[in-house]
Amino acid sequence: MAKIELPDVKDIFLEYRKMQLLYQSALKEIGTKLEILNDEFKFVHKYNPIEHIESRMKSEESIVRKLMKKGQDITVENIERYIDDVAGIRVICSFTPDIYRIVDMISNQDDIEVVRTKDYMVNPKPSGYRSYHMIVKVPIFLSDTVVPTRVEIQIRTVAMDFWASLEHKIYYKYDGHAPEYIRTELRECAEMISFLDSKMLAINEEIHSLKQDDMR
Ligand code: GTP
Ligand code: MG
């Protein structure tokens, strides 16, 4: 039997694994930074702005789908060039002002470069989706080099997160083609969520000012 010459793909796998290592490290760096900020805030203000943090690496299937959608070849170089959210971290806050607090605290760190921000609270998506998105670069110190590595940070309230997870599930069922009346209803739900957020914030501020009056 003739021996088949295999192409030398070892380098590609090695390059891909190195890229994964960088993104995983970036998730750890950003996760730790957020935990430190939350701990310090809790210490100073007796209040934690972060309810919880989730992080994930984009699946290989989603990476390939996204590159194909963008009409790009499937190469490690193109993943780095065209995909912003290989490493993704989601920060769930209690109240809307907490979101901007986190954004400011992250942006003010000297080693973080903010590449892009999208404020979907000021400008909700047509679906009704609300959140604050940041693409940042964090330096990863390897044995012989420093590699600035991109992470997508999504920051939202518990209520916005509730809406986004359920909307995502419903949309998934319809394979992205939900009928118009369903989309309208989901948009209406997003409005209600937004109302709930402002109502909860008002209650919290009211309680806070009552407490301060008590102390006087
Ligand atoms: P992508 O190609 O999806 O990354 O779009 P983009 O590069 O314009 O990024 P965008 O800032 O819109 O953020 C995309 C991410 O935000 C998605 O992967 C979701 O996690 C989230 N997202 C954006 N729009 C919606 C929405 O309508 N519903 C839900 N549930 N999530 C959304
Ligand atoms: Mg994106």
How many CA atoms are closer than 13 Å to the CA of 85, on its beta-carbon side? 14
* 10 pLDDT more than 80: no
Complex ipTM value? 0.94
Please indicate, yes or no, if residue 176 is contained in any of the structural domains.
no
Q: What pLDDT is stored for residue 172 in this prediction?
A: 77
* 13 pLDDT more than 90: no
Please indicate, yes or no, if residue 131 is contained in any of the structural domains.
yes
Ligand 1 atom at shortest distance from the alpha carbon of 127: 27
The finding on whether 85 has its CB within 6 A of some atom of ligand 1 is yes
Q: What pLDDT is stored for residue 81 in this prediction?
A: 96
Quote the tokens at residue 198.
């402002």
Q: Which residues contact 27 (CB under 8 A, 6 or more apart)?
A: 55, 57, 87, 89, 151
pLDDT band at 193 (very low <50, low <70, confident <90, very high): very high
Mean pLDDT, to the nearest integer, of 87-95?
97
Q: What pLDDT is stored for residue 53 in this prediction?
A: 98
The answer to whether residues 149 and 18 touch, using CB atoms and an 8 Å cutoff, is: no
Contacts 24+ apart (CB under 8 A), 190-195: 190/124, 190/127, 190/128, 190/129, 190/130, 190/163, 191/128, 193/130, 193/159, 193/160, 193/162, 193/163, 194/124, 194/130
Percent of the chain with pLDDT over 70: 97
The angle formed by the CA atoms of residues 94, 91 and 121, to the nearest 5 degrees, is 70
The finding on whether 164 has its CB within 6 A of some atom of ligand 1 is yes
Please indicate, yes or no, if residue 55 is contained in any of the structural domains.
yes
Please indicate, yes or no, if residue 170 is contained in any of the structural domains.
no
Please indicate, yes or no, if residue 107 is contained in any of the structural domains.
yes
* Main-chain dihedrals φ then ψ at residue 53, nearest 5 degrees: -125, 135
How close is the Cα of 15 to the center of ligand 1, in Å? 27
How close is the Cα of 56 to the center of ligand 1, in Å? 15
Please name the residue whose Cα sits nearest to atom 25 of ligand 1.
129
Average pLDDT, the chain: 94
Distance from C-alpha of 72 to C-alpha of 5, rounded to nearest angstrom: 27
How close is the Cα of 209 to the center of ligand 1, in Å? 37
- Between residues 9 and 87, the one the model is more confident about: 87
pLDDT band at 7 (very low <50, low <70, confident <90, very high): low
Q: Active-site residues: which are they?
A: 152
Q: pLDDT digit string (tens) for 37-70?
A: 999 999 998 889 999 999 999 999 999 999 999 9
Please indicate, yes or no, if residue 122 is contained in any of the structural domains.
yes
> Is residue 91 packed enough to be buried (19+ CB in 10 Å), middle (13-18) or exposed (0-12)?
buried
Mean pLDDT, to the nearest integer, of 73-97?
96
pTM: 0.92
Please indicate, yes or no, if residue 62 is contained in any of the structural domains.
yes
User: Which residue range(s) make up the domain with 132?
Assistant: 9-159
Length of the chain: 216
* Complete DSSP assignment for 102-153: HHHHHHT-TT-EEEEEEETTTS--TT----EEEEEEEEEE-SS-EEEEEEEE
Beta bridge partners of 155: 91, 132
Segment among 3-7, 127-131, 210-214 with least mean pLDDT:
3-7
Q: pLDDT digit string (tens) for 116-164?
A: 999 999 999 999 999 999 999 999 999 999 999 999 999 999 999 999 9
The finding on whether 72 has its CB within 6 A of some atom of ligand 1 is no
Distance from C-alpha of 211 to C-alpha of 214, rounded to nearest angstrom: 5
Q: What pLDDT is stored for residue 1 in this prediction?
A: 65
- CB count, 10 Å around CB of 116? 11
Instruction: Give me the CATH number covering residue 139.
Output: 3.30.460.10
The candidate with the shortest Cα–Cα distance to 81, out of 19, 30, 11, is 19
